[in-house]
Amino acid sequence: MAKLYFRYGTVGSAKTLNLLAVAHSYSQQEKRVIVMKPALDDRFGYGVVKSRAGLQRDADILLEPATVLNQAEFKEVSCVLVDEAQFLSRQVVDQLRALAIDIDVPVICYGLRSDFRTELFEGAQRLFELADEITEIKTTCFFCNRRALFNLKLLNGKPTTDGPSIELGAEEKYLPACAGCYTSKLEETRLLQAL
């Protein structure tokens, strides 16, 4: 039986680059791969899966919270790859799990674990509950050389915990941070605001 995989990391950990490399490997072997992503992620263009390193390809399927996947469309597929999986609904994650079981196709999801408040995204939570294999894609903290654990949000260049949980952005808005730097940078902002 095929597996459901969740490969997670902070912002800037090359998750999408990893996904695109896997898609390329399958294509080089003349195997069919389907790349999916949430429709709401239009940072690099509608339907575009793009890494910060510049590599890109079009998504084959754009996912909405209420998307119903037709399993018949996946029968001749060697692998399913999902970018920005943290934005998926529980319903869609459940269907991805069913693809791995019913169609016997590996499903590899890439995404963030938590938002800038350190709270699990809905899709990430469900993947932690259902995935057969969970792997952290590691990167270092923007401010030091320790392992990044959290996504630090910037508002006008200052660390913040304000705003909606889902707010699209890249390096101009989010930085990878270790626990110590995440806490100290937010505290610095609080102290400056108190003055």
pLDDT in tens for each of the 195 residues of the chain? 899 999 999 998 999 999 999 999 999 999 999 999 999 887 777 778 878 777 878 889 999 999 999 999 999 999 999 999 999 999 999 999 999 999 999 999 999 999 999 999 999 999 999 999 999 999 999 999 999 999 999 888 888 888 767 665 556 688 999 999 999 999 887 777 666
pTM of the full predicted structure? 0.91
Q: Which helix (H) or strand (E) holds 63?
A: strand 61-63
Q: Is residue 144 part of a domain?
A: no
Number of domains in the chain: 2
- pLDDT given at position 175: 94
- Residues 11 and 73 grouped into a single domain: yes
In contact, 189 and 153? CB cutoff 8 Å: no
Helix axis angle, 122-130 relative to 90-98, nearest 10°?
30
How many CB atoms within 10 Å of residue 17? 17
The vertex-120 CA angle with 89 and 147, nearest 5°, equals: 130
- Residues 116 and 190 grouped into a single domain: no
Length of the chain: 195
Q: Is residue 45 part of a domain?
A: yes
Q: How far apart are CA 115 and CA 121, in angstroms?
A: 6
- Residues 72 and 128 grouped into a single domain: yes
- Identify the DSSP state of 52: T
- Residues 127 and 168 grouped into a single domain: no
Which residues, in sequence order, are CB contacts of 72 under 8 Å at separation 6+? none
- pLDDT given at position 46: 79
- Residues 161 and 102 grouped into a single domain: no
Domain boundary among 109, 136, 163: 136
Q: Is residue 142 part of a domain?
A: no
Using DSSP's 3-state secondary structure scheme, residue 8 falls into strand
- pLDDT given at position 116: 93
Domain boundary among 136, 159, 183: 136
Q: How far apart are CA 7 and CA 18, in angstroms?
A: 9
Q: Mark whether 167 is an active-site residue.
A: no
In contact, 37 and 84? CB cutoff 8 Å: yes
Q: How far apart are CA 163 and CA 54, in angstroms?
A: 28
**Residue of 30, 84, 172, 188 with catalytic role:** 84
Q: How far apart are CA 33 and CA 22, in angstroms?
A: 9
50 burial level (CB within 10 Å; 0-12, 13-18, 19+): middle
- pLDDT given at position 43: 72
Whole domain around residue 188: which residue ranges? Answer: 150-194
- pLDDT given at position 157: 81
